[in-house]
Amino acid sequence: MAVKITFRDNLPPVMKGQSRIRPANAQPENEKVKEILTELDDLIGLGTVKNLIYELQAFIEIQKCREKLNLTSEPTVLHMIFSGNPGTGKTTVARIVGKLFKEIGVLNKGHILECERADLVGEYIGHTAQKTREQIKKALGGILFVDEAYSLARGGEKDFGKEAIDAMVKAMEDQKNNLVIILAGYKNEMDFFIESNPGLRSRFPIHIFFPDYSAEELYAIGESMLSKRQYELSPEAKITFKKKVQYTNSLHPYSGNARMVRNIIEKTIRKQAVRLYQKAKPSREDLIQIKEEDFRD
């Protein structure tokens, strides 16, 4: 019987720059695992998500230790449900999980194959199973990440989406040691999808909810995006950017979270380019600095 792993609510959240929740005498990690977990730690927010990923890692490692000592170990059923609004980090975390699972010996490749309904569902009887098997074959050794997975059940019993679900369930049995499937989508839709299919509920024991980012987290994400692209905000631009993020988020709280910030950043960089293009020889500082006027619509 698969063990359902849930997050312990009494654990404090992990923010960017803080250590993960782990005992001081925890088993040493190899350098590659450390790099992967640092990448996870460096994500803005997502405290409960980070803690649960660490719990999964600890669970897997301890089961391996029990096996080595000929103790009974729990089956590691690692298929997951990622629920939350768009732009809350689901795909990013799935990629990190794939790399982590490779390094700790769960998957032999650790890559992630992203797909949606159109990649799985065909136009006639038998076509869907074939398309789904093709995607599963590409995902073997890694993660099959199905976005908006609830759309597979929208058409009712006669919809070909059910055929895709059946093909995935079969693969979960046939390839249980060589494949992890993550179904992702909006929380309410995913809850309904899983509750309406008891077979799926038992096969996906790990449910991770990705909360929306706060305005402060969205601002930090924006600053991080700019820094990686070698841009800096002037003091006045910082104030304007904060106000713009807060205002846009208040108008469209579910408009994409980090994607909304990315759109603002990309538009601002274009505005800066137009401003600088009018200069004969922009300096290095000019090319780096984002000014308040670059945020004007």
DSSP 48-92: HHHHHHHHHHHHHHHHHHHHHTT---------EEEEE-TTSSHHH
Residues 116, 148 contacting (CB under 8 angstroms) = yes
CATH number, domain of 201, equals 3.40.50.300
* pLDDT value for 193: 87
Which residue is listed with tokens 């699972």?
Answer: 101
Helices 215-228 & 235-251 angle (0-180, nearest 10): 130
Do residue 83 and residue 189 come from a single domain? yes
Is 7 inside a domain boundary?
no
| Nearest alpha carbon to residue 80 among 180, 179, 182 | 182
Do residue 249 and residue 194 come from a single domain? no
| Nearest alpha carbon to residue 57 among 16, 102, 91 | 102
Residues in the chain: 297
Domains: count for the chain? 2
Do residue 74 and residue 148 come from a single domain? yes
Is 11 inside a domain boundary?
no
Do residue 141 and residue 56 come from a single domain? yes
Domain boundary among 184, 210, 236: 210
- C-alpha to C-alpha distance for 107 and 168, rounded to whole angstroms: 17
Q: Computed over its alpha carbons, how large is the radius of gyration of the chain?
A: 22
Is 22 inside a domain boundary?
no
φ, ψ for residue 144 (rounded to 5)?
-95, 110
* pLDDT value for 143: 96
- C-alpha to C-alpha distance for 234 and 291, rounded to whole angstroms: 6
Q: What pLDDT tens digit does each residue of the chain (297 aa) get?
A: 444 444 333 333 444 444 454 544 455 568 999 999 999 999 999 999 999 999 999 999 998 899 899 898 777 789 999 999 888 999 999 999 999 999 999 999 999 999 999 899 888 777 888 899 999 999 999 999 999 999 888 765 667 888 888 888 889 888 888 899 999 999 999 988 888 777 788 889 899 999 999 889 999 999 999 999 999 999 999 999 999 988 888 877 666 688 889 999 999 999 999 999 988 889 999 999 999 999 987
CATH number, domain of 268, equals 1.10.8.60
Do residue 122 and residue 205 come from a single domain? yes
Do residue 271 and residue 184 come from a single domain? no
Do residue 112 and residue 159 come from a single domain? yes
| Nearest alpha carbon to residue 258 among 295, 210, 223, 213 | 213
Do residue 195 and residue 256 come from a single domain? no
Is 21 inside a domain boundary?
no
* pLDDT value for 174: 87
Do residue 200 and residue 260 come from a single domain? no
Domain boundary among 161, 178, 210: 210
DSSP per-residue codes, 209-278: EEPPPPHHHHHHHHHHHHHHTT-EE-HHHHHHHHHHHHHHHHH-TTS-THHHHHHHHHHHHHHHHHHHHT
Do residue 143 and residue 162 come from a single domain? yes
Do residue 175 and residue 195 come from a single domain? yes
- C-alpha to C-alpha distance for 124 and 106, rounded to whole angstroms: 36
Domain range for 204 is 31-210
Do residue 106 and residue 248 come from a single domain? no
Domain boundary among 169, 186, 210: 210
